[in-house]
Amino acid sequence: MSIALRNKNEIAALRAANRLVARTLEHIGAMVKAGVTTKELSQEADRFIAANGARASFKGLYSPPFPAAVCASKNDVIIHGIPDDTPLEEGDIIGLDMGVELNGWYGDAAVTLPVGKISQTDQRLIDCAKETLYEAIDAIREGMRFKELSEVLENSIVSRGFVPLRGYCGHGIGRKPHEEPQILNYVEGKPKQGPKIKEGMVFCIEPMICQKSGKFRTLADKWSVASEDGLNGSHYEHAVAIVGGRAEILSAA
H/E run at residue 176:
none
| SS3 track for 77-127 | EEECCCCCCCECCCCCEEEEEEEEEECCEEEEEEEEEECCCCCHHHHHHHH
C-alpha–C-alpha distance, residues 83 and 67, integer Å: 9
pLDDT tens per residue, range 96-106: 999 999 999 99
How far is C-alpha 12 from the geometric centre of its chain's CA atoms? 21
Residues 6 or more apart whose Cβ sits within 8 Å of residue 25: 96, 98, 109, 110, 111, 253
CA distance 39 to 69: 9
State the Cα–Cα distance between residues 55 and 126, nearest whole angstrom. Answer: 28
Task: List pLDDT tens digits, range 54-101.
Answer: 999 999 999 999 999 999 999 999 999 999 999 999 999 999 999 999
pLDDT value at residue 191:
87
Return the CATH number of the domain spanning residue range 8-249. 3.90.230.10
- pLDDT of 253 reads 84
List the pLDDT tens digit at each of the 253 positions of the chain: 699 999 999 999 999 999 999 999 999 999 999 999 999 999 999 999 999 999 999 999 999 999 999 999 999 999 999 999 999 999 999 999 999 999 999 999 999 999 999 999 999 999 999 999 999 999 999 999 999 999 999 999 999 999 999 999 999 999 999 999 999 999 998 889 999 999 999 999 999 999 999 999 999 999 999 999 999 999 999 999 999 999 999 999 8
pLDDT of residue 237: 98
Contact 151, 187 (CB under 8 A): yes
What Cα–Cα distance (Å) separates residue 214 from each residue in 116, 190, 199, 229?
A: 27, 20, 32, 8
* Domain locations in the chain as residue ranges: 8-249
Residue 1's pLDDT is what? 65
Residues 6+ apart with CB under 8 A from 125: 93, 112, 162, 209, 211, 232, 233, 234
